[in-house]
Amino acid sequence: MRHNKKFNHLGRKHGHRNAMLSNMASSLIMHKRIKTTVPKAKALRSFVEPLITKSKVDSTHSRRVVFSYLQNKHIVSELFRDVAVKVGDRPGGYTRILKIGTRLGDNAEMCYIELVDYNENMLKDSKSSKSSSSRRRRKKKPTTEAQANTADATVETQVEEPKTEEAPKAEAKAEEKPKAEAKPKAEAKKEPKAEAKPKAAAKPKAEPKAKAETAKKEEKPKTEAKKKAAPKKEEKPEAKDDKKDAEGAEENK
C-alpha cells in the first residue's frame, strides 16, 4: 500500500528519479539557473537545498555526504568553494522558481529555477523596495487614566496661561510709568527756553547803541569845525615869513 508517500514520484522509479535529481542539481550548481517543468523544479528544490545547507560547514565529512548525492567532485568543489560563500548569510530559501507559461505540445507548465543570490537584477529591485517601503504603526488608544491625566494637564496649562499674560501687562505698565515721569523733565527743559525769549524782546542793549550813534553824530560837526579852523593855523607861517622879510630888509640897510 502507498501510505505516507506524499512526494511526487515524477512517473519514475527510485533509481531513475534519484539519478535525474542528481544531474539536475549538478546543472543548477554549475549554471546557477536551469529551465524545467514546475513539478520537477519543486522536487529539485527539496533535493538541493539540504545539500547547500550542508556545504556551509566545510569539512571532510560534509564533502563526502554531498558527494554521495551528486557523484561529481568538480561540482562538489564548486559548491563548497563558491556557492557556500555566496549563500553563507542566508538561513534557507536558496532557490527561486519563476513560472514562464506552458510548453507547446503537451501544455506542461514550464519555469526557471535559480539560485537567489546570483540574480543581481532581483537583488537590486529588492533593495530599492526595502528602502522605499515605510512602516506605519497605529497609535494605541489612550486609556481612561491617560485621558484624565491629559485633561488635568490641559486645565493646568489653561490656568497658567492668563498668569503669564498678566506678567507682561504688569511689565508694560512699569515701563509706561518711567515714560510718564520723563515727560515733566522734557517740559522743564522747554520752559527755560520760553523764558529766554522775553530777554530778546526787551533788547536792553539797544539804548546804549542809540546813545553811541547820537554821540557820533554830535562829534561829526565838531570835527568839521576843527577842519575849518585848520587854515587859520596856516596863516601863522605867512606872518612869520613877513617878519623874516622885514628883518632881512633891516639888516640890508
Q: In this predicted structure, what is the pLDDT of residue 196?
A: 45
| 142 in a structural domain | no
Same domain, 111 and 49: yes
When the pLDDT of each residue in the chain is averaged and rounded to a whole number, the result is: 76
Confirm whether 195 is domain-assigned. Answer: yes
pTM of the predicted structure, to 2 decimals: 0.50
User: Do residues 109 and 75 both lie within one domain?
Assistant: yes
Are 194 and 213 part of one and the same domain? no
Cell of 50: 539540504
Same domain, 23 and 55: yes
Report for 31-45, 112-126, 209-223: range of highest mean pLDDT: 31-45
Does 165 fall in a domain? Answer: no
pLDDT band at 84 (very low <50, low <70, confident <90, very high): very high
Do 51 and 94 have their domain in common? yes
Average pLDDT over residues 227-239: 52
Higher pLDDT, 78 or 193: 78
Which stretch, 155-159, 172-176, 214-218, has highest mean pLDDT? 214-218
Q: Identify the pLDDT of residue 144.
A: 60
Number of folded domains in the chain? 3
Indicate if 243 and 184 belong to the same structural domain: no
Question: Does the pLDDT of residue 168 top 90, yes or no?
Answer: no
At residue 72 the predicted structure's pLDDT band, cuts being 50, 70 and 90, is very high
Q: Are 191 and 220 found together in one domain? A: no
Please check the confidence at residue 201 and state whether its pLDDT lies above 50.
no
Q: Which of 109, 122, 98, 97 is nearest to 45 (CA)?
A: 97
Q: Do 55 and 95 belong together in one domain?
A: yes
- State yes or no: pLDDT of 54 exceeds 90: yes
Do the domain assignments include residue 216?
yes
Domain span holding position 98: 14-123
Q: What pLDDT is attached to residue 178?
A: 52
- As a whole-number percent, the residues of the chain with pLDDT over 70 amount to 51
Q: CA 19 → CA 22, 230, 234, distances in Å?
A: 5, 167, 172
Q: Give strand pairing partners of 101.
A: 110
